[in-house]
Chains A and B, each alone.
Chain A
């Protein structure tokens, strides 16, 4: 039996989350296979990149228009067709992974285990519940374990040194129930939030979408991704895909700078595993100071430009 990892990619490049999931898979079983399902001229290159990752034994390449846009109905059927012979099926806990994994589990009539942060043995896993305020250790007795992996909990493997084989597999036909219409992805020179080494986040204290821009020079200087609290997203100061927290993205950068963020438990759930946390808030009582390594009680509109200058 082997472990099947579902790769995340954009039909041209491997998303870094895939490498974290491969690392988790290797903790279960050294026999790791990776499904690359997609379409287009760049897909073979994606498969080759993954085959070269440390520890990957085999890449299953499914190339068809039905898989081009990651539609859940088609991708879940593709994974189901590949399921036989695998004891575990691992997805990254990303928007795409969370969309498809439960569908696969239900079709296999097994439970799905969400967002694992540790592997105790092949059947036993740890996962956060209640916004990370508790950690549940769960054991599955199902024949196949369908899992989403919290990528920040597993260090990514080197994307070299491997010598996996690439095997083409037949792809599913397109379903008739769902159709892809369009995609609007924000283009930015900044690093991807979920995998960034540095993150600068703003909260309700920013006051407006216009004021949020005060964070740009600091993020530029640090080479950081920009994030936001749910309060800031709700208020329309920042786009939803910047949201860090229980219902947004989970990040664990080397440095997390929380600016004008009070520190609701739902926000802390998304960033408390960061290596170093800096909090800047004018309210000395803000709960964010309870988790910050370095707290600065100050007006953010004075402090942030000053930090940018002094760095």
Chain B
């Protein structure tokens, strides 16, 4: 069973981004970049399937500028066997990424594609579902447990108010939620090994995909700030404020 894992290079989880003064976007120059945390969970899950003897090959894919190679090397240090960079400097939106991934999926014919449920930069939460639709495959989003057997995946999903279990026929799309697993730390020997693994370069055009964005971003602005509040000295003062000033209790 071959598994594809798309990974996105995003501004690191711990960075608080600043909006550019000309309102064209956020300033990501000289900011620490990392693999999207949900994608890291996706890579980990694929590697665990391989370690259980269920997956035979894990292929990481990243779409974007040449720097995404770093993200692919990280995926290979976690354990991916090889990787593909779909290189472009065009601003990619989820539909374009889904079309690129569809084209790769048709060439690689995987049984499973595992993606993060959302990227922490654009917070779109779309690519996996779109890819499933384009391929005509079933999907199990927001997965917290995955079991693969006999050509099916049984997936526990995080839904509002609890959990849901569905059984989907492979080939299929799974998107990861927080509790699916805890990604391993990459070790130095594995980072060294990853440098020797195969990394292929393609472009959206060579895959026959027009990556042009469909949504135009008119401006990016700061959210309205909350005005600073006060520190109350004790519980009695807090209860008094809630009753008499805020009038919420």
Contacts and interface: CB of A to CB of B under 8 A. Distances in A.
Instruction: Note whether A and B form a binding pair.
Output: yes
B220 interface: yes
A134 interface: yes
Contact of B142 (A69, A99, A115, A239): A99
Contact of A265 (B16, B94, B141): B16
A222 B231 CA distance: 22
B123 A246 contact: yes
Interface stretch (B48-56, B60-68, B238-246): B238-246
B248 A98 contact: no
Interface string A109-143: 11111110000000010001111111111111110
A138 B93 CA distance: 12
A247 B248 contact: no
A58 interface: no
A259 interface: no
B227 to A, nearest CB: 9
Interface residues of A, number: 92
Contact of A186 (B126, B161, B168, B238): B161
Contacts of A103: 129-130, 132-133, 139
Interface string B219-230: 111110010111
Contacts of A178: 138-140, 166-169
Given A133-B16, A241-B160, A98 B133 contact: no
A99 B17 contact: no
Given A73-B138, A137-B221, A255-B249, A182 B165 contact: yes
Contacts of A177: 137-138, 168-169, 172
A106 B124 contact: no
Contacts of A240: 144, 158, 177-179
A296 B166 contact: no
Interface string A63-99: 0000001011100100000000000000000111011
Interface string A212-254: 0000000000100000001001100001110100110100001
Interface string B167-206: 1110010000111000000000000000000000000000
B98 to A, nearest CB: 6
Interface in B86-104: 93-95, 98
B235 interface: yes
Interface of A: 69, 71-73, 76, 94-96, 98-107, 109-115, 124, 128-142, 175-186, 192, 194, 198, 222, 230, 233-234, 239-241, 243, 246-247, 249, 254-255, 265-266, 272, 275-278, 284, 289-298, 303, 306-307, 310-311
21 contacts: A73-B138, A94-B160, A96-B159, A112-B94, A130-B11, A131-B123, A133-B16, A137-B221, A139-B216, A141-B216, A178-B138, A180-B166, A181-B165, A233-B179, A243-B178, A277-B226, A290-B228, A293-B229, A294-B229, A310-B239, A311-B242
Question: Which are the 9 A-B pairs with shortest beta-carbon distances?
Answer: A102-B129, A106-B130, A111-B214, A102-B126, A177-B138, A106-B133, A185-B162, A293-B229, A178-B138
